[in-house]
Amino acid sequence: MTTYVLAGGCFWCLDAIYRQLQGVTEVVSGYSGGYTDEPTYQQVTSGDTRHAEAVQVTFDEAVIPKEVVLNLFFLIHNPTTLNQQGADEGTQYRSVMLHADKTQEADFEAARQRAKSRWGNNIVTELTPLDAFYPAEDEHQDYFTKHPGNGYCSIVITPKIIKARAKYAQWFKEV
């Protein structure tokens, strides 16, 4: 099993898409890349902790290639906007890939290079060593499934799922 920690805006979006992939065994929404131990959602959304809203994605490379997992990351968020995804602004919404070792760092850099074919040279996605990952509160886990009628889910997340399914349909679980 392989585990990546990725941040690309609101963690609800990444969580919703990665949960639908074949070979993904666990997705945990949380916080990483900051200075406070055990941060809360309130602390992170204030922007004072420097944590990013992130997901910890665990998957089986025998079922889904790491390149697909990483290419999806660059498809479902805009890696050219510094500290912003759509209307969400602040360092907690920055694009960052947090690597656990040199192999992940190289894999992340290769993915960032591949993404340039779509986004050009304006990619601001950080590659940062993973220090700690703190799971978010229960209400943020699998948010999309729990709140399908929420406006954010229908306006922001659903179009991202449609886009991801259109490009990577063979990797999604049957609906």
Domain edges within the chain? 2-171
Active-site residue, 153 included: no
| Angstrom distance (rounded) from CA 26 to CA 79 | 24
**Closest Cα to residue 85, out of 127, 125, 130, 139?**
125
**Closest Cα to residue 41, out of 82, 62, 10?**
10
Topology adopted by domain 2-171: Peptide Methionine Sulfoxide Reductase; Chain A (3.30.1060)
| Angstrom distance (rounded) from CA 49 to CA 97 | 17
| Per-residue model confidence as pLDDT tens for the chain (175 residues) | 999 999 998 999 999 999 999 999 999 999 999 999 999 999 999 888 999 999 999 999 999 999 999 999 999 999 999 998 888 888 999 999 999 999 999 999 999 999 999 998 899 999 999 999 999 999 999 999 999 888 888 889 999 999 999 999 999 998 6
Q: Kindly name the residue from 5, 7, 10, 130 that is annotated as catalytic.
A: 10
CA distances from 122 to 47, 64, 96 (A): 24, 28, 14
Number of residues that this document lists for the chain:
175
Predicted TM-score of the model (pTM): 0.94
